[in-house]
Structure 1
Amino acid sequence: MHRVVRTVLLLLALAIPPASSLHAYRNVVYFLEWGIYRDFHIANLDWSRITHVNYAFAMPQVDGSITFLDEFAATQRVYGRDLGIGAVQGCFGQANKYKRAFRGTKFGLSFGGWSGSGPFPTIAASPSLRATFVANAVALLEDLGLDFIDLDWEYPTLAQLPHFATLLADMRAALHALPFRTELSIAAPGFPANWGKESMAAICSHVDFLNLMTYEYTGAWSRRAGYHSNLFPNPHAPDGLRSSVSSAVQYYLTRGCPSEKLVMGVPLYGKSFERTRGLFAPFAPPTSGSHAPDGLWDYKDIARHASPTFDAVAQATYAYNATTHTVLVYDDPKSVAAKVAYMQAHRLGGLMFWEASGDAAAGSSASLLTTYASLVGKEDMDFRPNNLWYPHSRYDNIRRPPLLGGFTP
């Protein structure tokens, strides 16, 4: 018996990457639950290049319970052969298979989002509701075979920040009590938010990393066409268009958040501005887009048709069609390379991409995920092994012991 235990411990030790990789860059990618109805599934993720897949979203309820917007997509849809009555299926069943094949990729669950954050103030302010929510979230982590939890509260007010910090502390304590390694992250504002230094320090101390939503600086609500995820401000931009990724990062750094915990967000979509004379000029409301007439375009759709212009000052990309009088603002390989250089210079924690279905084909020269992974190199990415040991899961396929040598879906 002791010989078996020693053998297992030796195999586990051999699976752990060298110490130099334990603080390497993260490649965090959000996967949208409703993306399957656009024919983008768990199998379409670029598992070999992603360190953290963030499933969006689980929905907190005001009583501390948790639901999915689409339970069928999450746990019931059958892919290929039926996994059996006692198995979880759907996206989480597929994720379990791919985790066994790609041991360096962690799979987590994001709670809330823009339309799902309403219950957070009530939950965070109540000790009993916090306890209920934390217990339910940790139970989901064990049941679904997850590696981390991400809280996407958009957005706590200054008065609510102490409650948010307490919620994170409670979640951190519950995760630490588990017999395997987990992580805790949050989605954080990509603009200088009204977060006091004390609250910022508390929040940063409780999480492993923060996904900065460094995009959406402009849109249909703006008065003029402008970049929505530029690295630096352009001095020629009018007032109201001076936001930038760098100013958001510096906001967190100057308030004491460790640089290695800051993960910069990169949009895998662009914005269009119609009937305009060009960048920084007035425009008309959008009438088109990849999925709706809202001016939002998947990056893959832009990359196939646009002729980019790179702004060396803002380190941002745009395209202007003089025939249709349309401006497109988006990230491309050149702007991502600039963000990678900034990330490395400031020793940040990595990049986060919203969201996976918008990227160009995995492995292609146009793919932004591929661009990032190629520039950094796999040896400097956070490919610490995921967890496959969930003895208390209620699902047979999650509870099943890991197979040595992996698994091919």
Structure 2
Amino acid sequence: MKKILIAFAAASLLGACASAPSKNTAASAEPVIPTVKSHNKQVVAYIRTWPIGSTPKDMDMGRRWRASDIQGNQLTTLNLSFGLIRNGTEVYIKDLEPQPNSDKTATIAPFANMWDEVAKLQSQYPHLKVNVSIGGWGADGFSQLARTPESREKFIANVIKLIDEHNLAGIDYDWEYPVGPDWLPIAKDPSDKENYPRLLEETKAAFNKHGEKTGKQYQLSVAVPAAAWFLQNIDVARVAKSVDFMKVMAYDFAGSWSKKTSHHTNLYQNKADPEGGGWSTDQAMNLYLDAGVKPEKLLMGSAFYGRAWQGVAAANNGLFNAYKKAAYDDGITWQDIKALKAKGATRYWDPVAKAPWLFDGDLMVTYEDQESLKYKAQYIKQKRLGGIMVWEYAHDMDSELPRVINESLM
């Protein structure tokens, strides 16, 4: 870190020396902005296909991202989220079709130009891998299609068709979750234990075979939970052999389901947390490392959104306290978090958990910011992890946080 600071100080000094106009030099030097080419790590972002916003009212406005909103030089991969499964083995993106608004009184127009915007990104940033992520929370169909060789083959053929049609770099499977707990809202079966890695192995084999025809290499990744029960049910070391990356969803450690306020994407555990000390990103990453997954295949999950509660008691500035109700059920975006700070909410810092939070006397928000991301980047380098994954880019349309990530990974 000291080397980075010294380098930037030197660059600033040189820039200052060059700022005086002369006949032979430019009036000023442009600052160097770190990008993914500044280091050897992955910086992967999901991006939603549904409208942008923190609340149902925001999303009912139907605002969509455009290629010009995305600084592709700050990313190695962009995962379009989400593709879904229908008719057994077909893949579709529901937001390309009209959808009802939040109270079912009107229709939100489809994201009709999404593929045009993707094509612009692919043209502007040739290095950027654009994939489709299939699945997501509450997305059914994986367990059913994975149960027979025939349905797996049909599904994989449809995946490859989608890749070819839109010149994609690969696919991300976000099956949440095979052989999961009883509270999961999707179908599950004990056979998922074998069918999940089998689906991945057959997908990777099909990608390799297709690549022999096209001369391309296709990426396959999976999103996995930051939970011990998953590793008790799934042979993650076997899974890792078939995928390029396993993205550990190290966020949502706290939310509307929690008894008290806490951190939702903290790096380390703070045993002062009354919820058994809470959970942490560090504990989650070590689960996979201890299970034999190579560190270079692991991407640390991070959140560009916050979780929030209202009616929070004032003790400890709102942290680890009771509350009256949850706020922002869909998560509050980085932009809206900054707006709360501008209106007077105070930022606090947990030096043990390496995590910030906001409190205004009533509302408490747990989130990720520049300081916490610097600690996570340092951790990624120390553990020799493959990089970082963030949910999701549309929460930070100014790309402030990706720039911090890339600077800190140098």
TM-score interval, smaller chain? 0.7 to 0.9
Conserved in 2, the CA contact under 8 Å of 1:320 and 1:327?
yes
Matched letter for residue 303 of structure 1: K
Displacement of 1:360 in angstroms is 5.5
Alignment-derived partner of residue 333 in structure 1: 370
Structure 2 Cα separation of the partners of residues 39 and 60 of structure 1: 23
Structure 2 Cα separation of the partners of residues 194 and 145 of structure 1: 33
1:1-400 residue pairs with structure 2 within 5 A?
24-35=40-51, 37-72=62-97, 90-116=113-139, 118-157=140-179, 159=190, 160-177=192-209, 178=211, 179-196=215-232, 199-240=235-276, 242-277=278-313, 278-286=318-326, 288-289=327-328, 294=329, 296-306=331-341, 307-322=346-361, 325-359=362-396, 361-362=398-399, 367-377=400-410
Conserved in 1, the CA contact under 8 Å of 2:69 and 2:397?
no
Change (3 A) 1:240 1:42: farther
Question: Which gives a bigger RCO, structure 1 or 2 (Cα 8 Å, sep 6+)?
Answer: 1
Matched letter for residue 320 of structure 1: F
Structure 2 Cα separation of the partners of residues 343 and 114 of structure 1: 26
Displacement of 1:304 in angstroms is 3.2
Indicate the SS of the match to 1:250. Answer: helix
Structure 2 Cα separation of the partners of residues 90 and 353 of structure 1: 24
Structure 2 Cα separation of the partners of residues 251 and 336 of structure 1: 21
Conserved in 2, the CA contact under 8 Å of 1:265 and 1:353?
yes
Structure 2 Cα separation of the partners of residues 315 and 98 of structure 1: 34
Task: List gaps (5 residues or longer) in structure 2.
Answer: 1-36, 53-61, 99-108, 181-189
* TM-score where L is the length of structure 1: 0.77
Displacement of 1:157 in angstroms is 0.8
Displacement of 1:40 in angstroms is 2.3
Indicate the SS of the match to 1:35. Answer: coil
Conserved in 2, the CA contact under 8 Å of 1:61 and 1:119?
yes
Displacement of 1:95 in angstroms is 1.3
Matched letter for residue 372 of structure 1: I
Displacement of 1:43 in angstroms is 2.7
Structure 2 Cα separation of the partners of residues 303 and 234 of structure 1: 25
Conserved in 1, the CA contact under 8 Å of 2:67 and 2:120?
no
User: Where does structure 1 differ by over 6 angstroms across 4 or more consecutive aligned residues?
Assistant: none
Aligned pair count reads 334
Structure 2 Cα separation of the partners of residues 250 and 256 of structure 1: 10
Structure 1 Cα separation of the partners of residues 230 and 216 of structure 2: 35
Matched letter for residue 338 of structure 1: Y
Structure 2 Cα separation of the partners of residues 38 and 168 of structure 1: 35
Residue range with higher mean Cα deviation, 96-105 or 26-35: 96-105
Indicate the SS of the match to 1:103. Answer: coil
Task: List gaps (5 residues or longer) in structure 1.
Answer: 1-20, 80-88, 378-409
Structure 2 Cα separation of the partners of residues 42 and 241 of structure 1: 42
Conserved in 1, the CA contact under 8 Å of 2:271 and 2:277?
no
Conserved in 1, the CA contact under 8 Å of 2:50 and 2:64?
no
Conserved in 2, the CA contact under 8 Å of 1:27 and 1:350?
yes
Residue range with higher mean Cα deviation, 326-335 or 302-311: 302-311
Displacement of 1:223 in angstroms is 0.6
Conserved in 2, the CA contact under 8 Å of 1:72 and 1:90?
no
Structure 1 Cα separation of the partners of residues 133 and 92 of structure 2: 12
Residue range with higher mean Cα deviation, 368-377 or 36-45: 36-45
Structure 2 Cα separation of the partners of residues 314 and 148 of structure 1: 35
Structure 2 Cα separation of the partners of residues 361 and 100 of structure 1: 21
Displacement of 1:129 in angstroms is 0.5
Indicate the SS of the match to 2:264. Answer: coil
Conserved in 1, the CA contact under 8 Å of 2:248 and 2:298?
yes
Change (3 A) 1:197 1:346: farther
* TM-score where L is the length of structure 2: 0.77
Alignment-derived partner of residue 28 in structure 2: none
Structure 2 Cα separation of the partners of residues 193 and 269 of structure 1: 25
Displacement of 1:132 in angstroms is 0.4
Structure 2 Cα separation of the partners of residues 315 and 336 of structure 1: 9
Residue range with higher mean Cα deviation, 277-286 or 169-178: 277-286
Q: Percent identity?
A: 27
